Structure 1
Amino acid sequence: MLHLILVLSGVCTIGMTLPLPNYYSYSMAVGDGSGTEYSTAYDGRITGIRVWENSGSYIRGIQLRYEGNWTTPVCTSYYSPLEMTLRDSESIIQVSGKYGSGYIYEIMFVTSQGRSLKVGQPYGTSFNLYPSLDGSELRFLSGRQNGNGITSIGAHWAVYYTDDSKA
């Protein structure tokens, strides 16, 4: 019960719609975790992704769009990002990639419609983040960054309910 209270209090403090506890899961962060904490939590459903890569090296920055609103980029946003816009009723159901030597080197977002956005270099240890509950989708990312790039990444999953689906 204490674990449930801690999870719920953490979700409440980030200012987003509270998912029902039975429909929420967390994929533990991978990477060395140095630097400052970040979170992309925002209200609404994720509708777009931008990823910046340090040319031929590690992931420099990530940005998510919720409905029509882009979050502040995590870390840096130098150079041109690779971007994916999600279709209606499409959601992110998997985040995978590689990490090592202090950074996330490769990241791939896979959608419920079988599309993917893959950015970075195939260097390091593989990771695969996905929800533990059927029907869940990516709600936000969290982890650490050091000003130069993303050093760790974790994924928060939940079933997304619209006003129509709550009835």
Structure 2
Amino acid sequence: MLHLLLILSGVTLGMAMPLPDYYSYSTAVGDGSGTEYSTAYDGRVTGIRVWEYNNAYIRGIQLRYDGNWTTPVCTSYGNPLEMTLRGNESFIQVSGKYYYGYIYEIMFVTSRGRSLKVGLSYGNSFNFYPTNDGSQLRFLSGRQNGNGITSIGAHWAVY
């Protein structure tokens, strides 16, 4: 009996409790032509820059992690629209429109209710958000063809 108790206690002590899954992915939208991209970088997302083509599709995106800007995705031609986060603020929603070859509109919403909307409201709608409470935007991924962003997906996690 003592032997059985020791075995059972060893099994109980050796079993790890499952941890909640704090990562989620919002599946990419768009036609997905061109070269893959990812804005993944160390740190917390603290800003966003977006370039558009003549009030039409999205040409380029750049994220800031802590104080460092990533390399722009696709192109940084022209003047970007930019949003910098404040204090404990984070991006908690990414939405917009896509149609055939490009992402036409993109909007980033923060935990404080602020938003940055860029592009032309044209095409099919998408709405990305984390599935876990307390999660925030960690990075974007998708495809680009040198002229603009052709697909986009969002990765979320607790930071």
Shorter-chain TM-score: which interval? 0.7 to 0.9
Tell me the equivalent position of 1:119: 118
Tell me the equivalent position of 1:152: 151
1:125 is displaced (CA, Å) by: 0.1
Q: Quickly say closer, same or farther: Cα 1:21–1:85, change in 2 above 3 A.
A: same
Tell me the equivalent position of 2:10: none
Larger radius of gyration: 2
1:21 is displaced (CA, Å) by: 6.9
Q: Report the residue type matching 2:86 in the other structure.
A: R
Q: Report the residue type matching 1:63 in the other structure.
A: Q
Q: Report the residue type matching 1:36 in the other structure.
A: T
TM-score (norm 1): 0.83
Distance 1:121 1:78 in 2: 18
1:142 is displaced (CA, Å) by: 0.2
Tell me the equivalent position of 1:7: none
1:57 is displaced (CA, Å) by: 1.1
1:101 is displaced (CA, Å) by: 2.3
Q: Which SS does the other structure have where 2:21 is aligned?
A: helix
Unmatched 5+ residue regions in structure 2? 1-18
Tell me the equivalent position of 1:42: 41
Residues 131-142 of structure 1 aligned to structure 2 (within 5 Å): 131-142=130-141
Distance 2:64 2:26 in 1: 20
Q: Which SS does the other structure have where 1:151 is aligned?
A: strand
Q: Quickly say closer, same or farther: Cα 1:159–1:31, change in 2 above 3 A.
A: same
Residues 45-124 of structure 1 aligned to structure 2 (within 5 Å): 45-124=44-123
1:109 is displaced (CA, Å) by: 0.1
Instruction: Please list every run of at least 4 consecutive aligned residues from structure 1 whose deviation after the TM superposition is greater than 6 angstroms.
Output: none
Q: Percent identity?
A: 84
Distance 2:36 2:20 in 1: 24
Q: Which SS does the other structure have where 1:44 is aligned?
A: coil
Q: Which SS does the other structure have where 1:22 is aligned?
A: coil
Unmatched 5+ residue regions in structure 1? 1-19, 161-167
- RMSD value, Cα: 1.0
Q: Quickly say closer, same or farther: Cα 1:148–1:138, change in 2 above 3 A.
A: same
Q: Quickly say closer, same or farther: Cα 1:64–1:57, change in 2 above 3 A.
A: same
Q: Quickly say closer, same or farther: Cα 1:157–1:148, change in 2 above 3 A.
A: same
Distance 1:104 1:130 in 2: 17
1:29 is displaced (CA, Å) by: 0.2
Q: Which SS does the other structure have where 1:99 is aligned?
A: strand
Tell me the equivalent position of 1:15: none
Distance 2:39 2:91 in 1: 14
Q: Report the residue type matching 1:152 in the other structure.
A: S
Q: Report the residue type matching 2:53 in the other structure.
A: N
Distance 1:156 1:71 in 2: 16
TM-score (norm 2): 0.87
